[in-house]
Amino acid sequence: MALLDALCRRRLRAAHSIDDLRDAARRTLPRMVFDYVDGGAQSESTMRQNRAAFERHRLLSAAPVDVSRRSTATTLFGQSLAMPLIIGPTGYASAFWPKGDLALARAAAAAGVPFVVSNGANSRLKDIAEASGGQAWLQLYIAHDKQATLGLIGEARALGFETLEVTVDTALPGRRIRDIRNGFTVPYSWTPAKVADVLRHPGWMLRALPHGAPRPGLMPMEQGRSWATVSEFVRSQINPAIGWDDLKWLRDQWPGTLIVKGLLDPGQVEPAIGAGYDGIVISNHGGRQLDGAVSTLDVLPDFAAAAKRRIPLLIDSGVRTGTDILKAIALGANAVQVGRATLYGLSTAGEAGVGHALGIFRTELDMAMALVGLNRVADATPAIVRTIA
Ligand code: FMN
């Protein structure tokens, strides 16, 4: 293990951007596991658009400005954040690193940012809550059986969770063709090709072996059953009949901060406010759900116009650099969530890799603020962004 740890440290030293961490993750993970984190739905056009939108939006510099007193810190839902970034919910994280949820939770707490526990997490909620030092939020899919949903949020409440994020873009989980092709089954199943793939990635194999295949920690899984992909397993859990009435029902059940994740239509801002929600995550699930969906950055200004600062707006899907964060804040977001970026770090070096990814974001955001001419990240306005054709 000491040799493996040394290799991880070497890979981290060579990673200076989230793209570098992605390359390192690709070398570390078996193909089927890398494709699970890296891939999107169907043609992956939405996934590409998410990046293209960040490329199309460019920053203006107001230099010269005195930027010697700048800070990336911000406040969200009464919580202090070292930067306007939250590690978003990502299920099945133990595929990337043993007890991956705990590593994500610890790294987020150390960096002073929240971590959202996925409903598809592999560890027990109690263990993740401990690892996060009480800073974690919980993401929820409303289950077929509302009693199961009530059980989970009751447990979260008892453990001191204050923020719940309900995901609504997953009536059916997206068709992720890479997972179907690779046979990324739940639990893992083995063919000669998959065994050969794992043998080509001995670091991942040696770490994973003692822990066995990841199992859902917060969702029931019938013994002896298997599913063709993670999406298929998720399909068996989620109620596709969810509407605003159910979201209002959830509001009545949860006294803390309640956020709806997965809106893409600015027309949904009023229903969210009307239902008593405290925040919105504008998200296309990183291009993993509706292929052909708009990129989130492109609809952010319309959300900001509809929200008129009455409800905090979070945005995810495609955030890979500190300048991406600044662009999103300038166009009206209060903070960003990231999914794959920190998972690339997790895959490369566990908790240290997640911390490394967060460090890259913070360094790049600080640099962008200095060069654009900002001391406070919340002072970014649309005036610092130009859209190119
Ligand atoms: N979103 C959820 O609401 N619940 C989940 O369980 C969940 N699992 C995910 C698993 C993986 C491997 C990935 C990459 C994303 C997952 N997401 C889930 C979506 C993320 O929360 C987020 O919306 C998306 O990753 C943002 O795009 P980005 O990866 O480009 O940052």
- How many CA atoms does the CB half-sphere of 197 hold within 13 Å? 17
Distance 12 CA to ligand 1 centre (A): 23
Q: Does 283 appear as a known binding residue?
A: yes
pLDDT score at 319: 99
The atom number, within ligand 1, closest to the CA of 116 reads: 21
92 is in an annotated binding site: no
Which pLDDT score is estimated for 224? 86
Active site residues: 285
Residue with tokens 């009435």: 245
- 264: nearest Cα among 254, 272, 256: 272
Rounded CA-CA distance 107/117 in Å is 13
Rg of the chain, C-alpha, whole Å: 20
Distance 90 CA to ligand 1 centre (A): 5
Ligand 1 centroid – CA 2 distance (Å): 31
Average pLDDT over residues 56-65: 96
CA distance linking residue 32 with residue 96, whole number of Å: 11
Residue 234 has pLDDT above 90, yes or no: no
Q: Which runs of E-coded beta strand occur in the chain?
A: 57-59, 74-76, 79-81, 85-87, 116-117, 137-140, 163-167, 257-263, 279-282, 313-315, 335-338, 385-387
Q: Does pLDDT of 1 surpass 90?
A: no
- Round the average pLDDT of the chain to a whole number and report it: 97
DSSP per residue, 31-90: HHHHHHHH--STT-HHHHHHHHHHHHEEE----S---TT-B--EEETTEEESSSEEE---
| Pocket probe mutation, ligand 1, options 22, 35, 90, max atoms within 8 Å of Cβ | 90
How many whole angstroms from its chain centre is CA 229? 20
Structure tokens of 143?
């289950």
pLDDT digits (tens, 9 = 90+) for 79-125: 999 999 999 999 999 999 999 999 999 999 999 999 999 999 999 99
How close is the Cα of 135 to the center of ligand 1, in Å? 19
* Amino acid at site 245: D
pLDDT digits (tens, 9 = 90+) for 197-222: 999 999 999 999 999 999 999 998 88
Summarised one tens digit per residue, pLDDT across range 334-347 is 999 999 999 999 99
Distance CA 288, CA 284 (A): 7
**The pLDDT value given to residue 367:** 98
Residues 6+ positions from 23 with CB-CB distance below 8 Å = 15
Contacts of 80 (CB under 8 A, 6+ apart): 73, 74, 112
Q: What are φ and ψ of residue 141, in 5° steps?
A: -105, 135
Among 141, 139, 137, 143, smallest CA distance to 159 is for 137
Q: Are strands 74-76 and 79-81 parallel, antiparallel or unpaired?
A: antiparallel
User: For 145-154, what is the mean pLDDT?
Assistant: 96
Task: Give me the percent of the chain exceeding a pLDDT of 70.
Answer: 100
Round to whole Å and give the CA distance between 145 and 154.
14
Give pLDDT, residue 173: 93
Which residues neighbour 308 within 8 Å (Cβ) at sequence distance 6 or greater?
none
pLDDT reported for residue 223: 83
Percent above pLDDT 90 for the chain: 96
d(CA 380, CA 328): 9
Kindly list the protein residues whose Cβ atom lies closer than 6 A to any atom of ligand 1.
36-37, 50, 88-91, 118-120, 139, 167, 261, 283, 285-286, 288, 316-319, 338-341, 343
Q: Which residues contact 311 (CB under 8 A, 6 or more apart)?
A: 269, 272, 273, 277, 278, 279, 280
The CATH label, of 1.10.10.10, 3.40.190.10, 3.20.20.70, 3.90.25.10, for the domain at 2-387 is 3.20.20.70
Range of lowest pLDDT (218-227, 277-286, 302-311, 362-371): 218-227
